Structure 1
Amino acid sequence: MTALSLALLVPWAAGIVLALLDGRRPLVGWLAVGVLATNLGALVALAVPVLPDSSVVVTTGDWPAGIGITLRADALGVLFALLSSLALLAAMLHEVLDGVRERVFPGLVTLLAAGLTGVFLTGDLFNFYVFFELAMTAGYVLATYGGGRRELGAALVFTTVNLLGTFIFLLSVAGVYHVTGTLEMSGIAARMDDVDPNAAVLLAVGFFVAFAVKLGLFPFHFWLPTVYSGARPAVAAILSGGLANIGAYGLLRFGGELLPDELDLAAGALIVVGGASIVYGGILAVSRRSASEMLAYSAIGQVGYVLVAIGVGGPVGFAAAILYTVVNALNKTLLFLTAQMRGAVVGAAFALGALSVAGVPPAGGFVGKLELFRAVADDPALIVLFFLGSALSFVYAFQTYQYDFWRGERRGRRSTIPQQAVVAALALLVLALGVWPEPLLALSHDAAELLAGGGG
């Protein structure tokens, strides 16, 4: 209970204070790093009692349920909160070492951490929306970081498209309350069986569109290449490795727990959309020359695997989607942070991240691809699709590495040793997940069993 409250309150309170200070001062940046490390530590402490097939539910301020903020920590929420907190901490540390360029950056990243922690650890739909808005608002402002014409243009696209997705999400939340009379997630799941099927399908479509926009799935992807390639590396890492997790989590939580019948009904459509994302993102990534553009289009393809696994459903499909989301977020955080870095260590880190994206052992992505193939083992067409996607991933990752590091075409100043240490640590984590995948496999299957049980 203490860890759950700390994980939310520390970044919330500290973020407000840091937003008032000049983030360009090194001390303020390091304070933000300390706050994010505390948030990660609190989540680790929370994970100890929660992850062994348990959960913690708290209503803040001793208010009655339905009035106070209901926090719920289970395997799925804690895993996503840990993942996002780690991505934000790595990006913040990277930017502090490089020199923060705008005064609001540390405060915004800290507030984003509060919003993401709340999204993943809340137990009712209204508070999910509140934390969702906090995280997205911080993301909108972060997208302008750097103040250049390219960053401002990307931020405008990002804000406009995602505000539309947020509006659709809000309409769906209002619809859920209208047909169920509650916003508590457990109550919604229990009452959805009595809802008119047509109304339930409309609500499911609304939630899917809202979360698909956040993920950048084809055909909702048009904002993503501009934003990811136009943002500074730390911001791109935050958006892809942290903020985008809302989309994957939302599809898993809402589809598996709140709307399981509608998920089963739409399984075929989800697989088709996911497959289109894999092929489209892979082909466009092959045609890109710069690392940031390649990674932007790669992001579209990689989330397609997650959607296909969700469409397959069941404990095996959900476990594959969860595990691959974790690995993919770490890959993107690592690779985006290296996008404008040089040096031998950077080259090795990029190579390991690229191998992970392509699913080549011993990187963590290999384990993720194995789980995906296991989920679709009975469908030859999906096996062929995954092989095609993996082949495209290997081609674009290899050609970018060849161009940037073998031929030495990457420009910019050589990275400092502390900056290289950050990406090296992330690369070692990606490697560790491939060499010793059992803990992550167990966590993914525990979270998937929770969803499949909720769906039953």
Structure 2
Amino acid sequence: MPWLPILIALPALGALGVAVLPKGSDKAAKQLALLVSLVVLALTLVLAFQFAPDANGFAFQQKYSWIPSFGVSFGVGVDGIALVLIALSAVLVPIVILASWHDADGTGAENPPKRSVKTYFSLLLVLEAMMIGVFAATDVFLFYVFFEAMLIPMYFMIGSYGGAQRSYAAVKFLLYSLFGGLLMLVAVIALYVTAGKNTFMFPELIGAVTDPTVQKWLFLGFFIAFAIKAPLWPFHTWLPDAAAQAPAGAAVLLVGVLDKVGTYGMLRLCLELFPDAAKFFTPLVLVLAVIGIVYGAIVAIGQTDMKRLIAYTSISHFGFIAMGVFAMTSNAQAGATLYMVNHGFSTGALFLIAGFLIYRRGSARIDDYGGVQKVAPVLAGTFLVAGLSGLALPGLSPFVSEFMVLLGTYERYLVYAVIGTSGVVLAAIYILWMYKRVANGPTAESVSGMKDLNGRERLVIAPLLVLIIALGFFPKPVIDVINPAVDRTMTNIQMKDPQHAVPVAEQAEQKGAGN
């Protein structure tokens, strides 16, 4: 059963089906898009239950010759790391479609959409196909194609359906991403020439480049592209603008999934294809990561726009993920992968709830709110739970991944782990202060008539909160899927976990026994 080609083709065909619907069939376009995304989710769950975490290498592999003269193949397959990110995409898309039910209607909007409702939901399905494709690709050239193709639907969603500065934000997003993609294309071509294997298949390219200098240049080509995509400080400046101007649903996929392609690429390609170069640049990357953790959190505290604040918190969180990837311990890399998933759910919930607030009040300014919990208690309650997950409260899923990253980093790089811990303290400040200004205090006159969440909105946010709580108390099923893939990565880069020192009590016992 070619599971992965089907998962890629189904939303692409669904997008085509939505696009060819007759004019005026907006409701049918929404319903068809939602149906297709639910089928993709169901098939992804079937795939996940059939996945064997201890499989040797990639599972569900399919390979079709594409450009034989250059050794390019349509090669797909998944390990535990790719599978959980595909699952993240499959879960978020139907939630985003349902949350975005009226985003493209333009009724009474201050900035009417430039394109139709059909186009918006068609773009969502195209984006889903690209996201699944980039995580499933086992051919480096195919990975690059999906990596670049994702830009197009997101560019149009921001530029055609976003806020007042949408054109500026969309162009900035596109230019940054294209610059990174250009560097990556040069590195992909150089990798093919240097390896001399007439193939772009990732497993066959592991260990193919042995020259230390060549490894360093190729590593930089890939890494800068991924650092822009993530984004890692100082390549981050496009994200606050893009996230603030994008529709809430598009912002969820932008920060929740698309940006994970950057950190996924670091873990999958930078480390395994260029292990010696990765070790050489590790101190630099860890410095950038901890700066991003602290910088993103401090700047988030000073934000007055709700969506920009959430975007800056994500810059801080991506610092944690990058730190976990380059700490090169099993705990840190498993925690970084789990963080990619948990951050998608947590930040997705925050962006959607911010969207619900903005839809009601007509403003993203935090100071335009106050006392929301008195007039819309369910909305304020969900905002609180999502916010607490953003600051990694114990019992909620981000805590597990953040703890694993810090623990794994501490095992090898004590100083970076200690500095990174400051991000946890700062997170409590920016999240609780935002919640206090929005939900607590006297009820602002402008929100006195605010309606609480309706049935559709509760249906949208409930699965995310359930996943945040469930994975906070019981993350083992996901970690068990991730761990074998992390172990193979550690083997491929020839790294072992540090030997733990013998505890003091055990030393005393041994000394007593010797006497």
Q: Give the TM-score normalised by structure 2.
A: 0.83
Question: Is residue 256–residue 452 contact of structure 1 (8 Å, CA) maintained in 2?
Answer: no
Distance between the aligned counterparts of 2:160 and 2:461, measured in 1? 21
Match of 2:206 among 176, 186, 189: 189
Q: Which amino acid aligns with 1:200?
A: Q
- SS of the equivalent of 2:61 reads strand
- SS of the equivalent of 2:304 reads coil
Query: Is 1:56 paired with 2:60?
Result: yes
- SS of the equivalent of 2:439 reads helix
Cα displacement string for residues 10-57 of structure 1 (whole angstroms, at most 9, x for unaligned residues): 112222232344597121112111111222222222222324222221
Cα displacement string for residues 290-338 of structure 1 (whole angstroms, at most 9, x for unaligned residues): 3212101111111000111111113222111101111111111110011
Distance between the aligned counterparts of 1:161 and 1:423, measured in 2? 32
**Distance of aligned partners of 1:107 and 1:361 in 2 relative to their CA distance in 1, 3 Å threshold:** same
Q: How does 1:177-326 map onto structure 2 within 5 Å?
A: 177-181=192-196, 182-193=199-210, 196-326=211-341
Cα displacement string for residues 176-225 of structure 1 (whole angstroms, at most 9, x for unaligned residues): 111113311112113123xx221111110111110111112110011111
Q: Which amino acid aligns with 2:389?
A: S
Instruction: Give the superposition deviation at 1:382.
Output: 2.6
Q: How does 1:352-371 map onto structure 2 within 5 Å?
A: 352-371=385-404
Instruction: Give the superposition deviation at 1:99.
Output: 6.0
- SS of the equivalent of 1:178 reads helix
- SS of the equivalent of 1:325 reads helix
Aligned to 2:110: none
**Distance of aligned partners of 1:61 and 1:9 in 2 relative to their CA distance in 1, 3 Å threshold:** farther
**Distance of aligned partners of 1:362 and 1:280 in 2 relative to their CA distance in 1, 3 Å threshold:** same
Aligned to 1:120: 135
**Distance of aligned partners of 1:381 and 1:67 in 2 relative to their CA distance in 1, 3 Å threshold:** closer
Distance between the aligned counterparts of 1:336 and 1:216, measured in 2? 18
Distance between the aligned counterparts of 1:375 and 1:228, measured in 2? 30
**Distance of aligned partners of 1:20 and 1:155 in 2 relative to their CA distance in 1, 3 Å threshold:** farther
User: Which ranges of structure 1 fall in alignment gaps of 5 or more residues?
Assistant: none
Aligned to 1:73: 78
Query: Is 1:346 paired with 2:379?
Result: yes
- SS of the equivalent of 1:69 reads strand
Match of 2:487 among 441, 449, 454: 449
- SS of the equivalent of 1:340 reads helix
Distance between the aligned counterparts of 1:81 and 1:199, measured in 2? 32
- SS of the equivalent of 1:52 reads coil
- SS of the equivalent of 2:207 reads helix
Distance between the aligned counterparts of 1:426 and 1:111, measured in 2? 23
Match of 2:455 among 410, 417, 422: 417
Query: Is 1:389 paired with 2:427?
Result: no
Query: Is 1:87 paired with 2:92?
Result: yes
Distance between the aligned counterparts of 1:53 and 1:91, measured in 2? 33
Instruction: Give the superposition deviation at 1:429.
Output: 1.0
Distance between the aligned counterparts of 1:235 and 1:266, measured in 2? 33
Match of 2:179 among 151, 164, 170: 164
**Distance of aligned partners of 1:51 and 1:23 in 2 relative to their CA distance in 1, 3 Å threshold:** farther
**Distance of aligned partners of 1:392 and 1:32 in 2 relative to their CA distance in 1, 3 Å threshold:** same
Distance between the aligned counterparts of 2:98 and 2:397, measured in 1? 23
Aligned to 2:364: none
Question: Is residue 169–residue 207 contact of structure 1 (8 Å, CA) maintained in 2?
Answer: yes
- SS of the equivalent of 1:70 reads strand
Question: Is residue 332–residue 406 contact of structure 2 (8 Å, CA) maintained in 1?
Answer: no
Instruction: Give the superposition deviation at 1:289.
Output: 2.5
Distance between the aligned counterparts of 1:451 and 1:208, measured in 2? 17
Distance between the aligned counterparts of 1:376 and 1:62, measured in 2? 41
Query: Is 1:30 paired with 2:31?
Result: yes
Instruction: Give the superposition deviation at 1:271.
Output: 0.7
Distance between the aligned counterparts of 2:29 and 2:38, measured in 1? 14
Q: Give the TM-score normalised by structure 1.
A: 0.94
Cα displacement string for residues 130-152 of structure 1 (whole angstroms, at most 9, x for unaligned residues): 22222121111111242553222
**Distance of aligned partners of 1:225 and 1:147 in 2 relative to their CA distance in 1, 3 Å threshold:** closer
Question: Is residue 145–residue 235 contact of structure 1 (8 Å, CA) maintained in 2?
Answer: no
Query: Is 1:109 paired with 2:124?
Result: yes
Distance between the aligned counterparts of 2:231 and 2:430, measured in 1? 19
Distance between the aligned counterparts of 1:370 and 1:254, measured in 2? 25
Aligned to 2:7: 7
Aligned to 2:349: 334
**Distance of aligned partners of 1:294 and 1:63 in 2 relative to their CA distance in 1, 3 Å threshold:** closer
Larger helix proportion of the pair: 1
Q: Which amino acid aligns with 1:369?
A: E
Cα displacement string for residues 84-131 of structure 1 (whole angstroms, at most 9, x for unaligned residues): 222222111111266645331111110111111111111111111122
Which has the greater radius of gyration? 2
Question: Is residue 349–residue 461 contact of structure 2 (8 Å, CA) maintained in 1?
Answer: yes
Distance between the aligned counterparts of 2:217 and 2:410, measured in 1? 31
Question: What is the number of equivalent residue pairs in this alignment?
Answer: 454
Question: Is residue 322–residue 336 contact of structure 2 (8 Å, CA) maintained in 1?
Answer: yes
- SS of the equivalent of 1:123 reads coil
Question: Is residue 158–residue 169 contact of structure 2 (8 Å, CA) maintained in 1?
Answer: yes
Match of 1:373 among 406, 410, 423: 406
Match of 2:159 among 122, 140, 144: 144
- SS of the equivalent of 1:58 reads strand
Identical residues among aligned pairs (%) = 27
Q: Which amino acid aligns with 1:184?
A: M
Aligned to 2:504: none
Question: Is residue 398–residue 472 contact of structure 2 (8 Å, CA) maintained in 1?
Answer: yes
Q: Which amino acid aligns with 1:32?
A: A
Question: Is residue 329–residue 409 contact of structure 2 (8 Å, CA) maintained in 1?
Answer: no
Q: Which amino acid aligns with 2:6?
A: L
Q: How does 1:11-22 map onto structure 2 within 5 Å?
A: 11-21=11-21
